[in-house]
Amino acid sequence: MRPAPRVGVRDLAGEGAGQEVAEPEEPDRPDLRTPALAVAAWSGGLLGLLCPPAVLAGVLGALLLTALLLGRGLVRRVPLGPGGRAGRGDLLRAAAGCLLVLVAVAVVAGIRVAVVAQDPVAVLAAHDASVRVEATVTSDPRLRQGGFSDYVLLRARVVEVAARGQRTRVSAPVLVIADPSWIEVELGSRVAVAGRLEPADGDDLAGLLVARGDPEVRAPPGPLWRGADAVRDAIRDAVAHRPPSQAGLVPALVVGDDSRLPEDLTEDFRTTGLTHLLAVSGTNVCQADWCHDHRDRHPHGPGVPACLPGPEWDGQEP
């Protein structure tokens, strides 16, 4: 809501002595605190992923000290701006908050990178070790065309690795390259396979497993995996009548099921930096779209924020 207009008293040269009139309203200024926090979070994530541990510790220590100085010393001595508007004190508070967010996200990202890098699977991958692993399949197998033959790509979480005469219990994410026979492996299955570990490109992976031979399924998917698969099948069936790009995009946005997403559309998301929408962020988009539709149907109903986007959402195909 806009603030109420300020009331003043005109001088004798005006239309009447003592007559109260409304002074001109000041233009609204955009509140940039939320975008600033988002930039701080992204910056912290990049620091945690890209900086070596020693450099990261020094940078975060300096930033944390700066945030504490802003929060405990300077802010207390600087009042609000005139009329309650944002003044120097508010800017300092916002800067301190952004620095704290940056430090928190960078710490979490740095810890994750360190845990993955020191995992036994990552150590074996650094030496191109031959291993035998037990792993849980965490993504749908996808068939790819290679230069000489077809192959399957999937993600898995290694729970046990045997190499060099030792068997170790772990929990390490890996990318698996396997024969086309892996295309029938169900999401959530526990499999055993021999292969070679190699270093992975992404910091979120402990290694790249080049599997040899067919998978040995040790256990089928558990109840939670089967329940999730039933939900995914229902979403696929609900949009099966749509064009291929839409039928593949909706499950990817809602539950992260990109198994039927066309390759050209996947590349478009990767080019524009929007691949996060094919995971958790896509659910947020769907929730906002539902709220927008609910607001249109029940404009005076409770529980729907009035600040949801308007015309730019209208008429969008799934």
User: Residue 244, exposed/middle/buried by CB under 10 A (0-12, 13-18, 19+)?
Assistant: exposed
Report how far residue 116's alpha carbon sits from residue 112's, in angstroms, rounded to the nearest whole number: 6
Report how far residue 133's alpha carbon sits from residue 176's, in angstroms, rounded to the nearest whole number: 11
Contact indicator for 23, 6 with CB cutoff of 8 Å: yes
Q: Provide the token pair at 280.
A: 């958790």
* CATH fold for domain 124-221: OB fold (Dihydrolipoamide Acetyltransferase, E2P) (2.40.50)
pLDDT at 275: 72
CA 91, 93, 99, 104 dihedral sign is negative
Taking the domains of the chain in order of start, what are their residue ranges?
A: 33-117, 124-221, 224-313
pLDDT at 200: 86
Strands 190-198 and 20-22: unpaired
pLDDT at 156: 93
Sequence-distant (6+) residues with CB within 8 A of 109 are 44, 45, 47, 48, 49
In order along its 318 residues, the chain shows pLDDT tens digits of: 455 555 454 444 445 455 555 555 555 667 777 888 888 888 888 888 888 777 778 887 887 777 777 666 554 554 444 444 445 666 777 777 888 888 888 888 888 877 777 788 988 988 899 999 999 998 888 888 877 888 999 999 999 999 888 898 998 899 999 999 999 898 899 999 999 999 988 777 889 999 998 889 999 888 888 887 788 888 888 888 888 888 888 888 877 777 778 888 878 877 887 776 776 555 566 666 666 565 556 555 554 444 444 444 344 444
Q: Tell me the C-alpha to C-alpha distance, in Å, between residue 232 and each of 56, 145, 238, 263.
A: 40, 26, 10, 20
- State which amino acid sits at residue 217: V
Helix (H, G, I), strand (E, B) or coil at 3: coil
pLDDT at 75: 46
pLDDT at 305: 46
Report how far residue 89's alpha carbon sits from residue 73's, in angstroms, rounded to the nearest whole number: 11
Q: Provide the token pair at 161.
A: 């690795």
